[in-house]
């Protein structure tokens, strides 16, 4: 997730066209430069960033610093050479440090989360090995991977929400599985209060349940209504939402706004769930700091609740086709990029930011 302060970014107004790509030369020049970047055993970060065009992800540390990740893959095949880079931008919007490396197109790309004091890498595999922290100056810090679970507490960050799941504790730079989670939990969300919300999917004929816990104690549970199965789970500030799946698609949401005391189902209505075409497990489902829900499909359409009651939604109008959309606080962050590797930029390519619920958008520009 991302939060961006006013000083952190230079922004331009929404205009036709896009940013990024490999420069303004002919297509053949762009292709040649792109190939040189991904085949270079020691690529320069600026070259990788220029080749990638748009960031693959953006996260924010508590001091306002940003970490942007970039990927440049093999265009002709899903195998072969690739290049990756990350850049940390300080609160003043200027580059603090950047790093790039040669990679393999099939290798997992590095992903980070913003935390207190800097950033932490998301575990690249099924275990926690390969996880490390970066401070706001880009200095690498080792993390402690514990053998036993930890009961999440306020300030902990969920690094992996599907089995195997891990939390990160910034105060001690510790990575561990969350404690007391039901053995049959298939999805997790940890809110800023340290409450763990999980989707319990038993092997018996019992219904699936949403379970919420704190300090290792179960606070309550709610059965997923028939005839639905649970999907993606999100939680923040006492609110939680679970997508409801029937057949091969999302058909609605199960929502609470008062810490689990009351739940209601949202079926169709303002959100045309039956028009959703993608894998239901890849649904975009996030909660803003004020309790409003964001719902949609990557590279598709998105809807935002008009208030924290989450009863009425409106479709977002975006300046470009976003390949990803996320939130932090009440700010929306959309990335427009090609859905597959290409030598050419797409229309509106880059990072876009809205601070007013999607009514107005500004495009990110690096200050240098």
For residue 189, what pLDDT is reported? 94
* Residue count (the chain): 368
For residue 125, what pLDDT is reported? 80
Rounded to an integer, the average pLDDT of 192-221 is: 92
**310/292 Cα distance (integer angstroms):** 6
Q: Which residues pair with 211 in a beta bridge?
A: 198, 221
**Is pLDDT of 283 > 70?**
yes
Least confident of 15-19, 67-71, 333-337, 355-359: 15-19
Q: Pick the closest to residue 325 from 346, 349, 307, 352 (CA basis).
A: 352
Least confident of 35-39, 159-163, 290-294: 159-163
* Higher local confidence (pLDDT), 39 or 183: 39
My answer on whether omega of the bond before 227 falls inside 30° of 0, hence cis, is yes
My answer on whether omega of the bond before 164 falls inside 30° of 0, hence cis, is yes
Residue 321, class by beta-carbon neighbours within 10 Å (0-12 exposed, 13-18 middle, 19+ buried)?
A: middle
Confidence of residue 4 (pLDDT cuts 50, 70, 90): very low
3-state secondary structure of 249: strand
**Is pLDDT of 70 > 90?**
yes
Contact 345, 335 (CB under 8 A): no
Contact 76, 55 (CB under 8 A): no
For residue 219, what pLDDT is reported? 94
Rounded to an integer, the average pLDDT of 149-157 is: 91
Instruction: Kindly tell me the sign of the dihedral angle through the C-alpha atoms of 55, 158, 303, 332.
Output: negative
Cβ of 12: how many Cβ atoms within 10 Å? 11
Least confident of 5-14, 176-185, 229-238: 5-14
**Is pLDDT of 355 > 50?**
yes
* Higher local confidence (pLDDT), 232 or 147: 232
Rounded to an integer, the average pLDDT of 255-270 is: 91
Report the interhelical angle of 27-39 vs 45-52 (nearest 10°).
Answer: 130
Residue 27, class by beta-carbon neighbours within 10 Å (0-12 exposed, 13-18 middle, 19+ buried)?
A: exposed
* Higher local confidence (pLDDT), 180 or 368: 180
For residue 249, what pLDDT is reported? 94
For residue 21, what pLDDT is reported? 40
* Higher local confidence (pLDDT), 138 or 9: 138
**Is pLDDT of 300 > 70?**
yes
Q: Pick the closest to residue 315 from 294, 288, 286 (CA basis).
A: 294
∠ Cα 298 300 306 (to 5°): 95
3-state secondary structure of 6: helix
**122/54 Cα distance (integer angstroms):** 20
Rounded to an integer, the average pLDDT of 182-203 is: 91
Least confident of 6-20, 98-112, 257-271, 305-319: 6-20
Percentage of the residues of the chain whose pLDDT score is greater than 90: 62
**53/42 Cα distance (integer angstroms):** 19
**Is pLDDT of 5 > 80?**
no
Give the chain's mean pLDDT.
Answer: 87
**Is pLDDT of 259 > 90?**
yes
Rounded to an integer, the average pLDDT of 244-268 is: 94
Tens of pLDDT, residue by residue over 96-140, are 999 999 999 888 888 999 999 999 999 888 888 889 999 999 999
For residue 198, what pLDDT is reported? 95
Q: Pick the closest to residue 307 from 327, 286, 289, 291 (CA basis).
A: 291
Tens of pLDDT, residue by residue over 11-65, are 333 333 333 344 444 567 889 999 999 999 999 999 999 999 999 998 889 898 8
């Amino acid at each position: 997730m991302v939060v961006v302060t006013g000083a952190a970014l230079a922004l331009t107004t929404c205009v036709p066209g896009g940013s990024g790509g490999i420069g303004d030369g002919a297509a053949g020049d762009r292709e040649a430069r792109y190939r040189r970047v991904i085949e270079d055993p020691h690529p320069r970060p600026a070259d990788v960033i220029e080749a990638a065009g748009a960031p693959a992800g953006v996260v924010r540390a508590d001091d306002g610093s940003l970490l942007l990740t970039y990927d440049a893959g093999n265009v002709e095949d899903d195998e072969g050479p690739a290049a990756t880079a990350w850049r940390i931008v300080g609160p003043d919007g200027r580059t603090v440090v950047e790093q790039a490396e040669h990679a393999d197109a099939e290798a997992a790309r590095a992903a980070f989360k913003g935390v207190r004091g800097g950033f932490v890498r998301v575990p690249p595999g099924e275990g926690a090995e390969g996880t490390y922290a970066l401070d706001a100056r880009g200095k690498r810090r080792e993390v402690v991977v514990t053998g036993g679970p930890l009961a999440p507490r306020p300030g902990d960050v969920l690094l992996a929400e599907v089995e195997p799941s891990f939390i990160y504790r910034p105060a001690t730079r510790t990575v561990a599985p969350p404690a007391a989670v039901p053995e049959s939990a298939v999805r997790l969300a940890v809110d800023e209060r340290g409450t763990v919300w999980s989707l319990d999917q038993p092997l018996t004929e019992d219904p699936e349940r949403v379970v919420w816990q704190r300090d290792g104690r179960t606070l309550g549970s709610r059965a997923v209504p028939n005839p639905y199965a649970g999907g993606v789970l999100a939680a923040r500030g006492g609110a939680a939402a679970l997508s409801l799946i029937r057949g091969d698609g999302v058909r609605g949401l199960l929502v609470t706004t008062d810490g689990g005391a009351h739940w209601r189902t949202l079926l169709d209505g303002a959100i045309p769930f039956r028009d959703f075409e993608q894998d239901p497990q890849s649904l975009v489902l996030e909660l803003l700091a004020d309790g409003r829900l964001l719902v949609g499909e990557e590279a598709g359409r998105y809807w935002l609740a008009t208030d924290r009651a989450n009863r009425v939604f409106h479709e977002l109008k975006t300046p470009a086709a976003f390949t990803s959309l996320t939130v932090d606080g009440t700010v929306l962050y959309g990335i427009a990029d090609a859905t597959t590797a290409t030598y050419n930029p797409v229309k509106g390519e880059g990072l876009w930011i809205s601070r007013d619920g999607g009514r107005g958008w500004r495009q990110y520009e690096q200050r240098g």
